[in-house]
Amino acid sequence: MTQRIALTRYLVEQQRVHGRIPPELRLLLEVVARACKSISQAVNKGELGGVLGTAQTENVQGEMQKQLDIIANDVLIEANEWGGHLAAMASEEMDGIYPVPNRYPQGEYLLLFDPLDGSSNIDVNVSIGTIFSVLKKPEHPPGQNHGVSEQDFLQPGRDQVAAGYCVYGPQTTLVLTVGNGVDLFTLDREQGSFMLTREQLQIPPDTQEFAINMSNMRHWDAPVKRYVDECLAGLGGPRGKDFNMRWVASMVADVHRILSRGGVFLYPWDKRDPGKPGKLRLMYEANPMGWLVEQAGGAASNARQRILDIQPNQLHERVSVILGSRNEVDRITSYHTGL
Ligand code: AHM
Ligand code: MG
């Protein structure tokens, strides 16, 4: 029988044997995983736990919050605020940053998360998930007690030190990178541990599967329309092959499929609200997913540049997202840039 390694041992080895992460980052990842286990329990109970339905409140993005959005946010805050590894947190569900309260020691990391991604799927028993991104708090000149501000968070995605997501689906799976490839852990509910089940995920460079919300077709820009039309034309069209389409409407589930068997995901800018660069948020959706995809050999672009190179100006900034199999992402980018 295969001897499986638990996440705890994996993280200890990342720290001690490979020297890839410092002890504080190991603790941080351990705590995030523990919070995900707890969110998984709440999601699993569903109606029995009285956790479904709307919370009757709006978040900073003007979206109605579900009860589970708020529960997941609280679980992540409570799990992470007292350990001494963080300076502050930021979330899709909170307007501003959440500095670690003064009664706890302050650490050097910043944690960003979308506590429960795929909100429209919460009440219908379809996969949802938690996305997270970890940054180092920038150093300030010695002697200056600077505290922590939103400005400290505004770092490009290439500066992330860890990123991952947890999908609450038929299985609960945690997918993680610390900059050395992407590894996958499956929650063993009897043992209460995440177990390493797949190492060094690789996204094939070519694919015949795309993911986009087709109901927005009439709002798309010409290059996106061209790409999808060419896919739909199939064997007899310019691509000379048939394509399949999947759209879960949970980015975690769509990205998980792409990390498992390839594909391309698009949530592009569209004409519904031309002032908005896209629907998805840069700092806690596109950046962590973009880095995971790149670490697995794929690509992530906003249709013009690498997502990880975008300098954020705001915590809740939105972005156009095209990610997955490298050759498809490059093709869609070239349709936009003409290069
Ligand atoms: P959320 O963070 O409020 O759940 O919104 C993000 C989600 C993504 O998971 C998904 O890709 C997209 O919104 C689905 O949008 P749509 O309902 O327009 O298809
Ligand atoms: Mg989301």
Ranges of each domain in the chain: 7-198, 209-337
What contacts 24+ positions apart, CB below 8 Å, involve 118-124? Answer: 118/248, 118/249, 118/250, 118/251, 118/252, 118/253, 119/63, 119/65, 119/66, 119/69, 120/249, 121/248, 121/249, 121/250, 122/43, 122/52, 122/66, 122/68, 122/69, 123/52, 123/53, 123/66
What pLDDT is stored for residue 140 in this prediction? Answer: 80
What backbone phi and psi angles, to 5 degrees, belong to 139? Answer: -80, 140
Q: How far apart are CA 121 and CA 127, in angstroms?
A: 7
Give the nearest ligand 1 atom to 267 CA. 11
- The closest-lying atom of ligand 1 relative to the alpha carbon of residue 213 is 19
Specify the CATH number for 209-337; select among 3.40.1050.10, 3.30.450.20, 3.40.190.80, 3.40.50.11820: 3.40.190.80
Closest ligand, as measured to the CA of 288: 2
Give residue 3's pLDDT: 87
Q: pLDDT value at position 143?
A: 63
- Does 209-337 match 7-198 at the fold level? no
153 vs 31: CA distance, rounded Å: 20
Question: Which ligand has the shortest distance to the CA of 126?
Answer: 1
Please tell me the pTM assigned to this model: 0.96
For the four alpha carbons of 130, 274, 160 and 89, in that order, the dihedral sign comes to negative
Pick the atom of ligand 1 nearest to 280's CA: 6
The Cα 82–Cα 174 span in angstroms is: 23
- Tens digits of pLDDT across the chain (339 residues): 678 999 999 999 999 998 999 999 999 999 999 999 999 999 999 889 877 888 778 877 777 788 899 999 999 999 999 999 999 999 999 999 999 999 999 999 999 999 999 989 998 999 999 999 999 999 887 666 668 999 999 999 999 999 999 999 999 999 999 999 999 999 999 999 999 999 999 999 999 999 999 999 999 999 999 999 999 999 999 999 999 999 999 999 999 999 999 999 999 999 999 999 999 999 999 999 999 999 999 999 999 999 999 999 999 999 999 999 999 999 999 999 998
Which region holds residue 324: left if phi is over 0, alpha if psi is between -120 and 50, else beta?
left
CATH topology of domain 7-198: Fructose-1,6-Bisphosphatase; Chain A, domain 1 (3.30.540)
CB 37 within 8 A of CB 192: yes
**Beta pairing partners, 134:** 111, 162
Distance (angstroms) between ligand 2 centre and the Cα of 155 equals 19
For ligand 1, atom 6, name the residue with the nearest CA.
Answer: 118
**Res 57: pLDDT:** 81
Q: Name the closest ligand to CA 285.
A: 2
Residues with CB under 6 A from ligand 1: 63, 92, 114, 117-120, 213, 249-251, 267
CA distance 33 to 67: 21
The pLDDT score that the predictor gives to residue 50 is 79
